[in-house]
Structure formats: structure tokens, C-alpha cells
Amino acid sequence: MRHFVSVFAGVGAAFSMAGCGGSTGAETDQGSASATSTAASSGEGGTVSSSTKTSTSSSTSDGDGRSEASSTSRSSGAFATSQETDRYIFEYSWPAAAGSIPALDAMLTARMEKERDQLQRYAAEAARDAKADDIPFFQHSSYTEWEVAANTPRFLSLFTGVSTYAGGAHPNLHYDAILWDKQAGKALAAGELFKSRSAFENRVSGPMCDALDAQREERRGMKVERGSGGMFEDCPALEDVVITFASSGGTAFDRINFLFAPYVAGPYAEGTFEVTLPMTAALLDMVKPQYREAFAVRR
């Protein structure tokens, strides 16, 4: 994931127990291209599988020299789009595992459109303000690349590192995550899988904070002093951490990942942090009965 500071770069899917900026005037079309191909094959038992690949690209410019270029592609559910104008760059994508689930594909499409509209609006406002104040305008940007953390028969765990820039010393980075229940056909918050959210938090906070401190001390070259009152010395609250799940064999979750964006556990210069804890018998006992088969103790 090329846009991020560290291993990874949340919005609505943290442990909250859930993861027009163009030009004006008449535009002249300078070029566009599109291609679509479809293939289908019959496997054993008469099952038919199909793959559709669609891609489009275009570029435009107006009389003032402003330009826009965009491209969109979809292949077997995987989706990617890119749009660049003088005011902003917008890139958004998700994998085939997500795009092949219609309801999840629709949810991601809605999120993408909301984020793109927001970027366009903010960039347009910033451009107007910069012109009015006679100061330089810096092109805005937003990059979101959803990836699979784990894909099991019951759940699809997704995560992304979102990189945005609106002027300033550096881009802003945050995590987001989606936990999709295939059986229920909806997204769930990580905490919904456990009998008691507070008990789960009490169980994982200790080892999570210890592992985080070990990483922070290695990067800083000094001991972390929790309770000292120093900036970025205490362990972040779990509600500020984005949670995803991982699976060794693809059948059940056996690890829990905790993702810390810049400024959550340390200054921007320290980058991002990731802590992974194994699924233990004690944690498994905290899982609600209806989700128990979706988890396994880490061997």
C-alpha cells in the first residue's frame, strides 16, 4: 500500500464496536476509451462461473487550461477508480472478495461516492479561498485501497489505510475496517461478536499495550513511561484503535489485529503500529455462541 507511512497507513469501524473540485466553463472532450469482455465456463456439477472485465478512461480540458483525467475498472468483482483534476486526486478500490457480494459492493460504492463528493467540495472551497486571499492552492488528494485481512466461510474482514492531503506539512492517515457477516448479509462491529464488550476490552488491553510499548520503545530508543503525563506515553483507548481479524487456514479467525494510525500511539514521525494477538481459549469463551464456530484457538 504505497501511500502509507509504515506497515499500513478509523473512520467509522474502529472499536466503536462497529470499518466539485473540477473546472468551470465549457469542456471539450479530448479522448476517451472503454472496453468490456465477458467469459463464462461450466465446471463440475453444471456450476457456471463467469468473469466480466470492464474498464473506462477519459480526459477533458477547458479553455482555461484546466484538465481532468479519470479511469475505472472492474474485474470479477474487484473495483478501482481514479480521478485527477487540477484541484484534487481521488483513488478508491476494493478486492474481488468484497465486490462479489452485492450488498457489500453497494455499501462500498456508497462510501466511495460520499468520500469523493466531500473531497470535491473541500477542494473547490479551498481553491476559492486561496484565490480570494491571493495565496497558493495545494492540490487535495484521497487514496483508499481496501484489502482482505481474512476471508472465512462466515466472515470477510477488510481493512484500509486512508491517506488524505489538504495542504500542510504532510498527508493525514487513518485506518478503517469492515467486518462482513456473510450469513446475516450485513456489517458488524468487532465488539458485537463477544458476550461482553467490557470483558473483551479488559482481556486484550494488557497484552495489546505491552506489545505496543515494546514497539514504541524500539523506535524511540527509550522506555515508555505510562502514567507519566508525557505525550504518547499512555496506551490508547481501544475505541481509538481499529480492529481486524486474521485466519491461518481460511476457515476460522485465530488472530486479532490492532491497528494504530499516526497520532494514536505516537507522533506522525513514528508512523503506524500494528499489534497481533493470538486467539486463546479464554478469548474464545468470550465469543457469543452464534459466532463460536467462526473462531479457533491459535495453535
pLDDT at 60: 64
DSSP-based three-state secondary structure for 166: coil
- Segments of the chain scoring below 50 in pLDDT: 1-50, 62-65
- Please choose, from the candidates 237, 245, 239, 241, the residue with its C-alpha nearest in 3D space to the C-alpha of residue 279: 245
pLDDT at 32: 40
Which of these three, 140, 155, 188, is where a domain ends? 188
* Same-domain check for residues 178 and 200: no
- Please choose, from the candidates 149, 143, 137, the residue with its C-alpha nearest in 3D space to the C-alpha of residue 116: 143
Q: Which amino acid appears at position 95 of this protein? A: P
SS3 per residue for 97-123: HHHCCHHHHHHHHHHHHHHHHHHHHHH
DSSP-based three-state secondary structure for 19: coil
* Same-domain check for residues 70 and 151: yes
pLDDT at 22: 34
The Cα–Cα gap between 172 and 154 comes to 33
pLDDT tens digits, 174-224:
999 999 999 999 999 999 999 999 999 999 999 999 999 999 999 999 999
The Cα–Cα gap between 104 and 185 comes to 8
Q: Which amino acid appears at position 171 of this protein? A: P
Which of these three, 136, 157, 188, is where a domain ends? 188
* Same-domain check for residues 162 and 263: no
pTM of the model: 0.79
The Cα–Cα gap between 208 and 176 comes to 19
pLDDT at 66: 63
pLDDT tens digits, 63-97:
444 678 999 999 999 999 999 999 999 999 999 99
Backbone angles phi, psi at 181, to 5 degrees: -90, 105
The number of distinct structural domains making up the chain is 2
The Cα–Cα gap between 272 and 7 comes to 7
pLDDT at 13: 39
By residue range, what is the domain housing residue 162? 54-188
> 184, exposed or middle or buried, with CB in 10 Å at 0-12, 13-18, 19+?
exposed
pLDDT at 10: 35
The Cα–Cα gap between 101 and 266 comes to 37
Please give the angle made by the CA atoms of 141, 257 and 109, to the nearest 5 degrees: 40
* Same-domain check for residues 205 and 217: yes
* Same-domain check for residues 117 and 219: no
Residue 123 falls inside a structural domain: yes
* Same-domain check for residues 206 and 106: no
pLDDT at 61: 58
- CATH of residue 61's domain is 3.30.565.40
Residue 17 falls inside a structural domain: no
Q: Which cell goes with 29?
A: 472532450
> Quick count: other Cβ atoms within 10 Å of Cβ 236?
20
- Please choose, from the candidates 276, 212, 272, the residue with its C-alpha nearest in 3D space to the C-alpha of residue 244: 276
Residue 280 falls inside a structural domain: yes
pLDDT at 275: 98
**Adjacent-strand bridge partners of 32:** 58
DSSP-derived secondary structure letter, 270: G
Task: Provide the residue count of the chain.
Answer: 299
Q: Are strands 67-75 and 147-151 parallel, antiparallel or unpaired?
A: unpaired
pLDDT at 211: 97
* Same-domain check for residues 221 and 239: yes
pLDDT at 52: 59
The Cα–Cα gap between 191 and 199 comes to 10
How far, in Å, are 172, 183, 232, 259, 261 from residue 240 at the CA level? 16, 28, 13, 9, 9
- CATH of residue 202's domain is 3.90.640
Q: Which amino acid appears at position 13 of this protein? A: A
